[in-house]
Amino acid sequence: MDTSFLIPGQIAKRNLRHLDEGVHIIDLDGFLVEASDGFCRMLGYSREQLLGLNVAEWDVAYSSFELYRGLAPVFEDREEVTFETTHRRKDGTEFEVEVVSKALRLNGRLGLYMVARDITARKEAEKERLAREEHFRSFFEDSGSVILLVDPLTGEIVAANNAAADFYGYEKKQLTRMSIQEINTLPPEVIRMDRERAFHDGDRRFDFPHRLASGELRDVEVFSSPFILDGRPLLFSIVHDVTERKRSTAALAESEARFRRFFEENSLVMLLVDPADGKIVRVNKKALAFYGYSEEQIVGMPIGQINGLSAADTPLRLGEASRRAANVFKGSHRLASGEHRAVEVYTSPVMVSGRTVMFSIIHDVTERRQAEKGLRDSEERYRATFEQAAVGILHTSFDGRMLRCNARFAEIVGYEAEEIPGLSFSQITHPEDVSTSLKMLPQAESGRATWEKRYIRKDGSVTWVRLTSSTQRDGDGNPVHLITFVEDINDLKAAEGRLEAALTVLAKSA
């Protein structure tokens, strides 16, 4: 406070009334002798009302006696005394003031020359500052984030919270006796320059390697900004441990690099399709060769131009596929030439560069489908031949069990076709012909055998047949079963009987 006007003596009263400061003079009994305009306004009185009042009328803390006792040094040592007290206005409201007092002699008597200043705003500001500081200390200590307060010039760690002590593995007292250079493993000059940038440029983000008390190195992300605490400039630094995130990021990058190499150089046709809009995102070299498009032509192309799905159906199909781990689709893909190729598409959702895409492997199965169709046609022709043949056809295992037969064979032996499988050949062979059949089997297994024998029909009657038997083999040449063609020769045998009878009669008559 400027106290240059506090001049003891008679001249102190000169021009006092016109001052805006809260200047006033009281006698040793505490009665007001003179007051400035500023003091009158401060208390809300007119000068006439105020003059003659005792200090106890406006000062809450002091009576005239207490004031005199408290200001004894003013009279004894002629010192200037500054103190704080509370004044009461005319309307009864109270406010805090700072008072500077000095003794003076007025009209031969001692008195007090006093200047009062309203310090309500300052007190409120101090309370607010203290509340902010208390709030900061509470936030600082209780925060789950690692926080350090660092001197920007020296790197000294001024304060560290509980989370910092837990993270670094030091006691807080140890941390505050250390410098940031003992934790940050970068060269000291680099650390100093980073501190200066953070302090002068404002909020800054840094990536640092920090060493723990255990010696372990951790990757950290540090956000630093200038901060004033108790008038001292500091760096407020929040430290995030990003070691695992960096490892995960590195692992993801390596995984994507491996996928990229696998994708680009693979001999299979591969596409990446955005499930949101159905557009092709990426293709490999094999896909370019297969479809006949350039990369510029095919990337960004709707997949419907290849697989024939409509614009309305594509999102539905892709959305359904993206919800399943694996999908298989069969269909036809159109090449750049206009040719359609039969394909099987194996597709599944994958993450690439942070986005979900449909990873599709396309197999060209045109030739296989054609071969399968040829096989089906061949089997159909075989089946028709087997079922509609004019001779009996029988499949027999090598131990003599009947496996299957056609309708003509069932008709020859008088059974239903469904009754034949499971019977052995000896069950329906005439007992006198079983040995002959057994002798012919080795010849049938190694090549082909033809012989005649008699079957016993289901109704007990005997029927003559001629058998031509050979081994049926698989594609690798391995024997599967015996296939036997059976001819009904009853008419032939009857003719032979008639011929023999005629020859016998002729011989007798000669």
The answer to whether the CB of 469 falls within 8 A of the CB of 392 is no
When pLDDT is averaged across residues 443-463 and rounded to a whole number, the result is: 92
pLDDT digits (tens, 9 = 90+) for 307-359: 988 877 787 788 788 788 778 888 899 999 999 999 999 998 988 877 889 89
Compute CA 260 distance to the chain's CA centroid, rounded to the nearest angstrom. 20
Q: How far is CA 235 from CA 137, 147, 362, in A?
A: 15, 10, 58
Q: For 461-481, how does the pLDDT look when each residue is reduced to its tens digit (9 = 90+)? A: 999 999 999 999 888 889 999
In eight-state DSSP terms, residue 156 is B
Distant-in-sequence, close-in-space partners of 4: CB < 8 Å, separation ≥ 6: none
Q: Would the pLDDT of 409 be above 70?
A: yes
Do residues 23 and 104 make contact, with C-beta atoms less than 8 angstroms apart?
no
Q: Residue 510's pLDDT is what?
A: 63
157-211 tens-digit pLDDT: 999 999 999 999 999 999 999 999 999 999 999 999 999 998 888 778 999 999 9
pLDDT value of residue 376: 86
* Pair type for strands 94-106 and 109-118: antiparallel
- Poorest-pLDDT segment among 178-187, 257-266, 484-493: 257-266
**Confidence bin at 119 (pLDDT 50/70/90):** very high
Structure tokens at 412: 């020859």
Bridge partners, 234 (sequence order): 227
pLDDT higher than 50, residue 499 = yes
Q: What pLDDT sits at residue 118?
A: 95
Nearest to 350 by CA among 213, 258, 228: 258
Asked whether residue 68 carries a pLDDT value surpassing 80, the answer given is no
Give the whole-angstrom CA distance, residue 488 versus residue 85: 139
Rounded to whole angstroms, the Cα distance separating 316 from 329 reads 14
Tokens 């007119």 sit on residue: 46
What's the pTM? Answer: 0.43
According to DSSP, residue 17 is labeled G
As a whole number of angstroms, the distance between CA 246 and CA 459 comes to 88
Mean pLDDT of 144-148: 91
Residues forming a β-bridge with 371 = none
- pLDDT tens digits for range 230-250: 788 999 999 999 999 998 888
Q: CA 278 to CA 284: how far, in whole Å?
A: 17
d(CA 252, CA 245): 10
Listed in sequence order, the residues at least 6 apart from 346 whose beta carbon sits closer than 8 Å to its beta carbon are 326, 327, 328, 360, 361, 363
Please write the tens of the pLDDT for every residue from 73-117. 656 656 788 889 999 999 999 999 999 988 887 777 778 888 999
Q: Cβ atoms within 10 A of the Cβ of 304, count?
A: 16
Q: pLDDT at position 136, please?
A: 75
Written as one string, the DSSP assignment of 299-316 is: TT-BTHHHH---TTHHHH
Whole-number Å distance between alpha carbons of 58 and 22: 13
Give me the torsion for CA of 261, 262, 267, 270, rounded to 10°: -100
Whole-number pLDDT of residue 252: 79
Q: Could you give phi then psi for residue 115, rounded to 5 degrees?
A: -125, 120
Residues with Cβ within 8 Å of 202's Cβ and at least 6 positions away in sequence, in order, are: 225, 226
pLDDT, tens only, 368-401: 888 888 888 878 887 887 888 889 999 999 999 9
pLDDT per position as a tens digit, 8-64: 444 455 568 889 999 999 888 889 999 999 999 999 999 999 999 999 899 988 776
Residue type, 367: E
104/71 Cα distance (integer angstroms):
13
Between 104 and 409, whose confidence is greater?
409
Tokens of 408: 């003509």
- What pLDDT does residue 335 have? 95
Q: Which contiguous run of DSSP H or E holds residue 259?
A: helix 243-265
Q: What percent of the chain has pLDDT over 70?
A: 94
- Check residue 72 and give its pLDDT: 60
Q: Which residue ranges form the domains of the chain, and what is each CATH number?
A: 10-118 (3.30.450.20), 133-241 (3.30.450.20), 266-368 (3.30.450.20), 389-495 (3.30.450.20)
Nearest 5°: CA angle at 82, between 77 and 83?
A: 120
Please give the Cα distance from 99 to 387 (Å, whole number): 128
